[in-house]
Chain A
Amino acid sequence: MAQAYSPGLTVTKSIVLKKDRILPLKGKVLVKKGDKVKAEDIVAETLLPGKVLPFNLSNKLGVTADLIGQYLKVKAGDKIKKGQVMAVTNGFLGFFKTSVKSPIDGEIESISKITGQMLLREPRIPIQVKAFIDGIVVDVIKEEGVVIENKSAYIQGIFGLSGERSGEIKMLADSPDEVIKPDKIDDSCKDKVIVCGALVSYDVIKKAQKVGVSGIISGGIDDQDLKKLLGYNIGVAITGHENIGLTIVVTEGFGIIKMANNTFSLLKSFEGHKASIHGITQIRAGVMRPEIIIPIEFKEDELKAEEPKMATLEIGTTIRVIRQPNFGLIGKVTGLPEKLTKVESETMVRILEAELETGEKVTIPRANVEVIED
């Protein structure tokens, strides 16, 4: 039977998920194998080296670099307090001494007699890694982190902004093609993950920030609104570090695009449930897409992760068109001709035949569709 592999975003009501929660540097793991954890629990922590402050000692003392050694009151490796004297000149007959004090609390990293420069290091910065999802610790990687597993309803987004957050799902749109107005957002949305329909506009995001919404899920977002929100144009597709006070997950793409029915209805069926979401997107080797994870009840023996499957295109597969014309529309595959076919742009491509939800029958390059798992 004709079939082909095609990329697709996962949308499913039940999946066994494994999440690595790893520290950026080696540190301490705070939980053990078999522990049940909540999304907010801290599972590992470490201390990042503090900032380094270069400090030109020879300039401050007014002597050449090779002479600083005789005036030093500290040595490399010493702990120092802010205001502590680090070096004093002899002055003239015991008068007019110049003393140099530390501008920070911290440690002396090094003292150079070639450049006359001291490097001072600020105290270490604690870094904590949270569990991010409710689940069970199934593996501990010594001094590095843990692997957490659970069973969840799971949706992959196409593009997102900002990092990990969680909150209860609240439906604001009544249908997947609704474009909601800011007045739909009120205090009841505080700390919630709100679901919009075909677009989240700049005004809606601003209102959500004001109210204290935790996350927004939307079918589409407009490029100009995004630029206005961030104050810059996203040049390359690496996101997740934006400091905007909430997380945004876009499920379909840029522009006004109706959210896929199954995504919308899945979210609707879990209204009131807690969801963990993030907007981290990276489109290159090691692709990362935003995620919406809604933990569901499970027994431990159910935690058997299935082998990852490649989405397959077959007659009857549900697809989403991901490029013009008909961008954003959903359809079903009706034919998979083998031969290369010339499309309007004269590009020779492998195509598929499909019937769109509008009833229209079309041919589309296979590269321009995504499989939607029913």
Chain B
Amino acid sequence: MGNTQKLKRIIATDCGSTTTKSILIEYVDGEYRQTVRGEAPTTVEKPLNDVTRGVVNAVTELEELARLKYNDDSIKFIKDEAIWLTEKEGEGVDAYVSTSSAGGGLQMMVTGVVAKMTGESAERAALGAGAIVMDLIASNDKRANYEKIERIRQLRPDMILMAGGVDGGTTKHVAELAELVGAADPKPRLGSSYKLPVIYAGNTSAQDIIKETLGNKTDLIITENLRPTLDRENLGPARDKIHDLFMEHVMAQAHGYNKLMGWTKGPIDGKLVNIPIMPTPAAVGNIMQTIAKINDIEVLGVDIGGATTDVFSVFTEHKVFNRTVSANLGMSYSISNVLATAGLQNILRWVPFDIDESELLNMIKNKMIRPTTIPQKLEELILEQAIAKEALRYAFIQHKEFAAGLKGGQKKREIADAFAQTASGASIVNLMTLDLLVGSGGVMSHAPRRNQSVMMLIDSFLPEGITRLAVDSIFMMPQLGVLAEISEKAATEVFEKDCLIYLGSCVAPVGAMKQGKIALHAKIKLPNGKTFEENIPFGEVRLLPCGVGEVAKATLKPGRGLNIGEGKGQEMDCDLHGGVVGIVLDTRGRQPFNLPVEAAKRVPLLKKWMKEFKVYPEERE
């Protein structure tokens, strides 16, 4: 880790597809804070064709804002058309780091022998490294070989990750996959002037065969097997190779990145060294893992964008990290696909008014073709948030399926395991043990009321037991993720103080009972001195005031057969953390959470909950 004493001023940028976002982090009064932020259009495409132009513009904005903030015209971050890195106190900056997802980010194709085993491990390695996985080609994926070749040919990935076979196992299937890749002769996405990078991380006994088949046709890199045995994954070496290739090949092809790569530097062990540019999602994964490790908590994060929804999680005592990308679930570019995936009825079940079906379908399509428009009417906002709930719900379903124990291994089972029925391949996502749920993305971070973000998070993820809720204020997790590479302290301090906006906590007993029966007895001593005490019937929502940094002392007893973390019907004493919205007590049931199908029953319930959540203006409720 770096010598953080020397870091006084750090600039971090995230070069996105459309916008380059810059933040300034300063060491003020003994702590790191994010002080100013700027942004400018990304300039990787025509007419400027040079990503550094956008970076300079975004950092120039930082410079201007910093001068205004400190009333000091001598502040200077740019010198000779580049970011000014200097070790001299009071001049320039001490470090500059950056992430990038410009030009669609890192796009990969992966292969494995068995889709659910080595294929899934390869997918996990690629996703963890920040890639979008365009397709998984496996020996057993039911497509005929000629179809697989056609598919490989059509896709123009940035690189291919090939896994397959445990060490010492069969080589035939891996060889066959290599032949298919060789026959397809795939071309890289960004130009035909270089060979497509292929990483082989499969059965070590097949390495010579792979060299023979693909050595001449591709830029072949061989690394350790990412699934050396069925019960062990070794994703690190493959992920590292992906990052190296991302820098050397993918980034080097994009306009201006060679220059930018020369700029990103920071002190490590007292020396100013190059800090590699990270793919944006890999950096988000990095900060989430750092936070989970330092605070010893389980974290679930979601970023809902226009085109895709990323879900990140860190679960179990081993802090296992998983990331999934739901490539076609988003709020503008792929909004129509949310409708196709979820179905109209699932979206409308969150809407407390009647709407003409064809009008709604045309509205969704119009949002797709004009993605930058804003809901002006309240009804349209409610509809967009209903669509967001379904996009989040489906992205989470996909994440739960993917974030699982290894499949195919013969797990040694203890007596306790046999009783707990933990099967090989079961999801490790456990909402009951989850500590923190973080939302980000336009629909979440820019919701007119923070209460709406709370409602969207709770309705789509259905947190269980006690969970803290937060949103990323301006989506600075990527910059903090790459910053953690040189200073964990700076990254985590800024994350806690400036990045996250704590919304509050959600208390939700798990289980179901008849409407009206007592689901939760809550006695809560609030920070304002008042005590809230109520026997809350099943099917209700309560919102209690408890501000940012405040803690309420609670005694919670779930109704018969329900559980809030200590077992069915077991009472617990705990601290509930506040936030800009407060504490939510949600007795609407979990596993299952049921919404009545008939509009006559559902709409009054929705209206009642929305009123309690204070999500929309009174006249709507």
* A residues in contact (CB < 8 Å) with B: 7, 25-26, 49, 51-54, 65, 109-110, 112, 114-115, 117, 119, 121, 158-159, 222-224, 226, 233-237, 253-255, 281, 283-286, 308, 322-325, 327, 343-349, 364-365, 367-368, 370
Write out, one digit per residue, whether chain B residues 326-338 have a CB within 8 A of any chain A CB (1) or not (0): 0010001110110
Q: Which residue of A lies closest to B330 (CB)?
A: A236
Beta-carbon contact of A284 and B373 below 8 Å: no
Give the distance to chain B from A343, nearest Cβ to Cβ, in Å.
Answer: 5
Beta-carbon contact of A223 and B307 below 8 Å: no
The answer to whether the Cβ of B459 comes within 8 Å of any Cβ in the partner chain is: no
Q: Which residue of B lies closest to A48 (CB)?
A: B153
Give the distance to chain B from A230, nearest Cβ to Cβ, in Å.
Answer: 12
Apart from A235-B336, A255-B359, A343-B374: 17 A-B pairs, beta carbons within 8 A: A223-B358, A223-B362, A223-B364, A224-B358, A235-B328, A235-B334, A236-B336, A255-B366, A284-B307, A285-B45, A308-B47, A323-B375, A324-B363, A346-B378, A348-B448, A367-B373, A368-B373
Beta-carbon contact of B179 and A236 below 8 Å: no
Write out, one digit per residue, whether chain B residues 16-51 have a CB within 8 A of any chain A CB (1) or not (0): 011000000000000000000000000001010000
Contacts of B337 in A (CB 8 A): 235-236
Beta-carbon contact of B617 and A346 below 8 Å: yes
A223 is contacted by which of B192, B361, B446 (Cβ under 8 Å)?
A: B361
Q: Which residue of B lies closest to A365 (CB)?
A: B374
The answer to whether the Cβ of B485 comes within 8 Å of any Cβ in the partner chain is: no
- A114 to B363 alpha-carbon distance, docked (Å): 56
Beta-carbon contact of B378 and A344 below 8 Å: yes
Interface of B is mostly: helix
Beta-carbon contact of B180 and A54 below 8 Å: yes
- A159 to B368 alpha-carbon distance, docked (Å): 10
Beta-carbon contact of A110 and B182 below 8 Å: yes
B370 is contacted by which of A285, A308, A323 (Cβ under 8 Å)?
A: A323
Stretch of B122-130, B143-151, B585-593 that contacts chain A: B143-151
Beta-carbon contact of A54 and B333 below 8 Å: no
Contacts of A117 in B (CB 8 A): 176, 179
Please, could you name 15 A-B residue pairs with CB atoms under 8 Å apart, sorted by A?
A: A51-B150, A234-B336, A254-B361, A283-B368, A283-B371, A285-B45, A323-B373, A323-B375, A344-B376, A345-B374, A345-B378, A346-B449, A346-B617, A368-B373, A370-B370
The answer to whether the Cβ of B272 comes within 8 Å of any Cβ in the partner chain is: no
Give the distance to chain A from B106, nearest Cβ to Cβ, in Å.
Answer: 14
A114, A286, A325 pick with most chain B CB within 10 angstroms: A114
Q: A52-B184, A114-B175 are in contact. Are A233 and B333 (CB under 8 A)?
A: no
A-B pairs with lowest CB-CB distance, top 8: A235-B337, A346-B448, A54-B145, A345-B381, A254-B362, A254-B365, A223-B361, A255-B362
Give the distance to chain A from B549, nearest Cβ to Cβ, in Å.
Answer: 25
Contacts of A343 in B (CB 8 A): 374, 376
Give the distance to chain A from B350, nearest Cβ to Cβ, in Å.
Answer: 16
Q: Which residue of B lies closest to A112 (CB)?
A: B179
Q: Which residue of A lies closest to B376 (CB)?
A: A343
Beta-carbon contact of A345 and B375 below 8 Å: yes
Q: Which residue of A lies closest to B17 (CB)?
A: A285
Give the distance to chain A from B102, nearest Cβ to Cβ, in Å.
Answer: 8
Beta-carbon contact of B339 and A233 below 8 Å: yes
Give the distance to chain A from B526, nearest Cβ to Cβ, in Å.
Answer: 27
Q: A110-B183, A284-B333 are in contact. Are A322 and B376 (CB under 8 A)?
A: no
Contacts of A51 in B (CB 8 A): 146, 149-150
Beta-carbon contact of B368 and A323 below 8 Å: no
A324 is contacted by which of B146, B341, B368, B377 (Cβ under 8 Å)?
A: B377
- A288 to B534 alpha-carbon distance, docked (Å): 58
- A286 to B376 alpha-carbon distance, docked (Å): 27
Contacts of B182 in A (CB 8 A): 110
Beta-carbon contact of B448 and A347 below 8 Å: yes
Give the distance to chain B from A348, nearest Cβ to Cβ, in Å.
Answer: 7
Q: Which residue of A lies closest to B18 (CB)?
A: A285
Contacts of A114 in B (CB 8 A): 171-172, 175, 209
A51, A119, A254, A343 pick with most chain B CB within 10 angstroms: A254
The answer to whether the Cβ of B185 comes within 8 Å of any Cβ in the partner chain is: yes
The answer to whether the Cβ of B240 comes within 8 Å of any Cβ in the partner chain is: no
Contacts of A115 in B (CB 8 A): 172, 175-176, 179
Contacts of A237 in B (CB 8 A): 333-334, 336, 368-369
- A25 to B448 alpha-carbon distance, docked (Å): 49
The answer to whether the Cβ of B421 comes within 8 Å of any Cβ in the partner chain is: no
- A54 to B180 alpha-carbon distance, docked (Å): 8
Give the distance to chain B from A127, nearest Cβ to Cβ, in Å.
Answer: 14
Beta-carbon contact of B45 and A286 below 8 Å: yes
The answer to whether the Cβ of B340 comes within 8 Å of any Cβ in the partner chain is: yes
Q: A117-B176, A285-B18, A286-B45 are in contact. Are A325 and B377 (CB under 8 A)?
A: yes
Give the distance to chain A from B483, nearest Cβ to Cβ, in Å.
Answer: 25
Contacts of B146 in A (CB 8 A): 51-54
Give the distance to chain A from B44, nearest Cβ to Cβ, in Å.
Answer: 9
A117, A159, A235, A370 pick with most chain B CB within 10 angstroms: A235
Beta-carbon contact of A323 and B366 below 8 Å: yes
Give the distance to chain B from A320, nearest Cβ to Cβ, in Å.
Answer: 10
Q: Which residue of B lies closest to A255 (CB)?
A: B362
Q: A159-B369, A345-B378, A368-B373 are in contact. Are A284 and B340 (CB under 8 A)?
A: no
A224 is contacted by which of B361, B380, B381 (Cβ under 8 Å)?
A: B361
- A226 to B180 alpha-carbon distance, docked (Å): 37
Give the distance to chain A from B138, nearest Cβ to Cβ, in Å.
Answer: 15
- A308 to B209 alpha-carbon distance, docked (Å): 53
- A119 to B176 alpha-carbon distance, docked (Å): 11
A322 is contacted by which of B192, B332, B373, B449 (Cβ under 8 Å)?
A: B373
Q: A235-B328, A346-B449 are in contact. Are A222 and B358 (CB under 8 A)?
A: yes
Q: Which residue of A lies closest to B363 (CB)?
A: A324
